[in-house]
Structure 1
Amino acid sequence: MTIAIVGAGLGGLTLARMLHLNGIDAVVYEREPARDARSQGGMLDIHSGQRALREAGLIDQFYEIARGEGQDMRLLEPDGTLLLQENTPDDAPLARPEVDRADLRDLLLDSLPEDAVRWGRAFESAGEGVLRFTDGSSTAYDLLVGADGANSRVRALLTDARPAHIGQNSVEIGIPDIDRTYPDLAAMVGRGNYWVLGDGKSLAAQRNGDGRVRIGLNFYRTGEDFFATSGIPFDDPAAARARLIELFDGWDARFTALIAACDDTVAPRALTTLPIGLTWPSAPDVTLVGDAAHLMPPVGEGANMALLDGAVLGLALAAHPDDFPAAVKEYEQEMFERTSAAARDSAEIQELLEAPDASRRMLAFFQPN
């Protein structure tokens, strides 16, 4: 029987790897024209998802690309007060290592046969066992798996639920090769994550494996019209940096120096989530993995849940190779329970970030005693 996976993200590729290991044919269809067609984003904190990589026979290769020092963390207040600094010993276990999303995706891609991913195939519609693409081509399937992310088009085959804005808008900026270009700022940020919280905003800087520091400037309790009314001219990077510095007026000069040092990548991100506890009646020939199934706030759970989705669904299909409906039902029952709990935890952390005294609340979260 034929399994078609729409989307070559972490969840879809993990599923494809699990099926390949168990001798089950599957093809991944990805709308991007090639694996390196666009940036894959920053670092990921992989903790529970390590179980999926172990099931997929990739845990040793994962440890080779993971950055244990990425577990370092610094937490500060807008006036520059350092509340918490955690430095990871060189011999510490890799409980929550950071890994570049592109490196993890490459690891999964390289674990598959060369023809397992068909690039440049954008989903158009599906039904009655036929998957259609925007280029006019089509293919038959017995099971269709939507792994096509937050704005999944496969999702509509199962539920009317759509992502909703959560009142947070973010601007992504970054400093390339920071050790060479701004060594003082590099030393300030450190090896891992650097968080400044307060005044309804946050600055989250994160060291990447390629020497770039990615910085998220987050604006909480803001509406969907924030970017239209904020006065940030995204088509003029220099003016956009100047406006962002104005929006962080009153913050310690070291933090606005990070903004001033960034390159011309200034990207707006409006954050959305699916309803917590979203479920749907099980269908015999369609299911979802990853953000397509359970988009949640980006506080460290989404990638882990996507990896686990792929592994759990793969194991269920391997256990029921001649009964896809039973495998899907078994997977969805486990997935609904697991990801609902993760979404609730993520929503609680999101509430902490939005609080007026966010930095102190996060300190209590990390140091409960």
Structure 2
Amino acid sequence: MTIAVVGAGLGGLTLARVLHVNGIDAVVYERESSREARGQGGMLDIHSGQWALREAGLVDGFLAIARGEGQDMRLLESDGTLLLQEDTPEDAPLLRPEVDRADLRALLLDSLPEGTVRWGHAYESADNGVLRFAGGGTAPYDLLVGADGAHSRVRALLTDTRPAHVGQNVVELGIPDVDHTHPDLAAMVGRGTCWVLGDGISLAAQRNGDGRVRVGLSFYDTGEDWFTTSGIPFDDPAATRAHLIRLLADWDPRFTALIAACDDTIRRWPISTLPVGLTWPPAPDVTLVGDAAHLMPPVGEGANMALLDGARLGLALTAHPDDVPTAVREYEREMFDRTSAAARLSADLQELLMSPDAAQRLVAFFQPG
């Protein structure tokens, strides 16, 4: 069985690891030139995905890098009113700990034999058991697994469906070494995540394991072209911060102080999703994992589903080592059901965040009854 995985994200690496511990080789082809080629984003809330890490033999390593205190949460209105505060006891079980995405990816990469990941291999096309790379080069496969994320090119082998913008655009900034540079803001954010909900705008400030606070400003009911039509001068970080502060002029000054304290690293992130319940006719030699299969709003389910996809597919292939089509059908049946439920939950929470009474509804969501 020759298994080619396109994409060295969480789902693809988990698949390779679960196969490895069960005595099956796979090769992961990644377009980035090295594991350090780009940043890996912020913190992840890993809950159901812990099962996958246990199947991969990595749960102890995960618990060593997980941050239980990252489960802390504060929810405020834009005028500074505190609606909800949840502080995690020191002896609380790690049911939903936060972990730095880069640390989790490193844990997976370091668990694989040298040469499993082939860097600098950008997918171009595939058919008849031959994978072709941009710039030349080919590789054989009995099974091709698209683990190449939201804008997956492998997905086109199975479905014409593409992600659609959901009316949310995020401007992401950050404050480095916040405890030393801005201890007052560090205290306000706390050890986990501080959410602030306003009218058509939300702010999420999240503590990272490296001492950085990532600040995400979400603008709702905005179009896919909002970054070019908003009038924000994104090529000038100082002017961008000033513009964002003006947009939050009626917010509590503590929140605009967060924006003012951010450095010049600014990311623009349009939010898109795949349709809830997306499926495709089974193919004997191609399947998808992670965002390539079921891109969801970024509300805490996507990374967990990717980890579970990788483990479930790995176990299906282990159970049917001489019958790839059967393994793929078995995996996809379970994956479609599981991820449809997660995508529906994510879409409902996304709709809640975009509603006029989001603050009150979110309190009810976290404290039902």
On whether the aligned pair clears a TM of 0.5, the verdict is yes
Q: Deviations over 1:257-295 (max 9, x none)?
A: 000000001111110000100000000000000000000
Is contact 1:234–1:267 with CA below 8 Å preserved after alignment? no
Aligned twin of 1:299:
299
Question: What aligned pairs does 1:138-287 form with structure 2 within 5 A after superposition?
Answer: 138-287=138-287
What RMSD in Å do the two structures reach over aligned CA positions?
0.5
**CA separation in 2, counterparts of 1:225 and 1:235?**
16
Question: What aligned pairs does 1:353-364 form with structure 2 within 5 A after superposition?
Answer: 353-364=353-364
Q: Deviations over 1:198-246 (max 9, x none)?
A: 2011000000000000011000111112111111111100000001111
Question: What aligned pairs does 1:5-24 form with structure 2 within 5 A after superposition?
Answer: 5-24=5-24
**CA separation in 1, counterparts of 2:361 and 2:48?**
24
Is contact 1:203–1:218 with CA below 8 Å preserved after alignment? yes
Aligned twin of 1:122:
122
Q: Which amino acid aligns with 2:325?
A: P
**CA separation in 2, counterparts of 1:146 and 1:342?**
20
Q: Secondary structure at the match of 2:317?
A: helix
1:90 aligns with 2:90: yes
Q: Which amino acid aligns with 2:70?
A: G
Aligned twin of 1:32:
32
**CA separation in 2, counterparts of 1:20 and 1:184?**
47
Is contact 1:309–1:335 with CA below 8 Å preserved after alignment? yes
1:64 aligns with 2:64: yes
Q: Secondary structure at the match of 2:205?
A: strand
Aligned twin of 1:42:
42
Q: Secondary structure at the match of 1:206?
A: strand
**CA separation in 2, counterparts of 1:360 and 1:25?**
50
Is contact 1:198–1:357 with CA below 8 Å preserved after alignment? no
**CA separation in 2, counterparts of 1:65 and 1:293?**
28
Structure 2 unaligned segments of length 5 or more: list them: none
Q: Which amino acid aligns with 1:305?
A: M
Q: Which amino acid aligns with 1:304?
A: N
243-252 or 277-286: which moved more? 243-252
Is contact 1:68–1:88 with CA below 8 Å preserved after alignment? yes
Is contact 1:14–1:310 with CA below 8 Å preserved after alignment? yes
Q: Secondary structure at the match of 2:38?
A: coil
Q: Which amino acid aligns with 1:172?
A: E
**CA separation in 2, counterparts of 1:182 and 1:89?**
25
Aligned twin of 1:323:
323
Aligned twin of 2:78:
78
Runs of 4+ aligned residues of structure 1 deviating over 2 Å after TM superposition are none
Q: Secondary structure at the match of 2:115?
A: helix
* Number of residue pairs matched by the alignment: 369
**CA separation in 2, counterparts of 1:236 and 1:128?**
49
Q: Secondary structure at the match of 1:115?
A: coil
**CA separation in 2, counterparts of 1:302 and 1:153?**
19
Question: What aligned pairs does 1:339-350 form with structure 2 within 5 A after superposition?
Answer: 339-350=339-350
Structure 1 unaligned segments of length 5 or more: list them: none
Q: Secondary structure at the match of 2:167?
A: strand
Please state how far the C-alpha of 1:135 moved relative to its aligned partner. Answer: 2.2
Please state how far the C-alpha of 1:14 moved relative to its aligned partner. Answer: 0.2
**CA separation in 2, counterparts of 1:82 and 1:350?**
21
